[in-house]
Amino acid sequence: MSKVKIWLIFSIIIFFAGINIYINSLSYKLNKFLKNKDAQIGIAVIKNNKIWIAGDKKQPLLSVFKYCVALKVLKKLEDEKISLDETITVRKDMIETELYSPMLKKYTTFPFRISIKELLEYSVSQSDNNACDILISYSGGTNELNNFIHNIGFNNIEIFFNEREMNLDIKKQYLNKAYPADIARLMKFIRESDFLSQDSKKFLDVIMFKTTTGEDKLKSGLPKNFIVAHKTGSSSRTSDGIKIADNDAGYVISPDGTSYYIAVMISNSKMSDKDNAGIISEISRVVYEYFY
């Protein structure tokens, strides 16, 4: 056999081996979810120091931005040496009754006093919109929140509006936005750095573990013995039935203690809420199976 033929056979073997490696890679598996969907999908996964990204556009955050609000509040408490048990007086003019707000099932008369700890639990764990807006105001407003996130190195995360403003003008639901990769990176940075104290990080873990929204999203794609700390986001639909966003982002901890970060963000979806959640769940399952 000539050297040319040997080289050709060797090249063909290498070529098909490369194809086989790629189609079994996580990048290939994730990019398959972007095809033939009536929606724009963005995915980011980080394990150790490696990141996988599918979709390269900023996506509306919706209630995922409440994670950023929690960071701002916790940092304020640390810097000013304020206890989580410190209380705030909530007046009726601080509440928008049309917003999703489980807090108002407990607190039915005004004014009432509530701890910062409980407000954070309502905002993150139950995605309470009034609790979120109270915390935004308490910690300096949306401009300060946006600057805070940029100052810690995440300039591509944009936060301009609170929940009340987004409820009054549906177009504003598009404008708090980020790349999924930046949300995953932010969660990794906060969890693995000393930016927040250990006590603040443990508290943040707890309220994210206790998240009651999105049971059919990231969490449903995982075995029962895996733990997920996450923050969901879900929008209104436009007049022509388009779902502005359906999101879930967080970190997954396996029984052996290893972990990874994942953000799945769906926007401009013509699909049902059930179908959107099903895609997020399936992505979660694919990522888990790839690693374990």
- Comparing CA positions, the residue from 195, 247, 210, 188 lying closest to residue 118 is 210
Query: 165: exposed, middle or buried (C-beta count within 10 Å: 0-12, 13-18, 19+)?
Result: middle
**E strands, the chain, where?**
40-47, 50-54, 59-60, 87-90, 112-115, 177-178, 227-234, 243-253, 259-269
The pLDDT tens digits for 138-157 are: 999 999 999 999 999 999 99
Q: Does the structure show a pLDDT above 90 at 9?
A: no
CATH 3.30.470.10 fits 33-291, yes or no: no
The pLDDT tens digits for 66-76 are: 999 999 999 99
Active site residue ranges: 63
Residue 197: predicted pLDDT? 98
Q: Does the structure show a pLDDT above 90 at 13?
A: no
pTM of the predicted protein model: 0.92
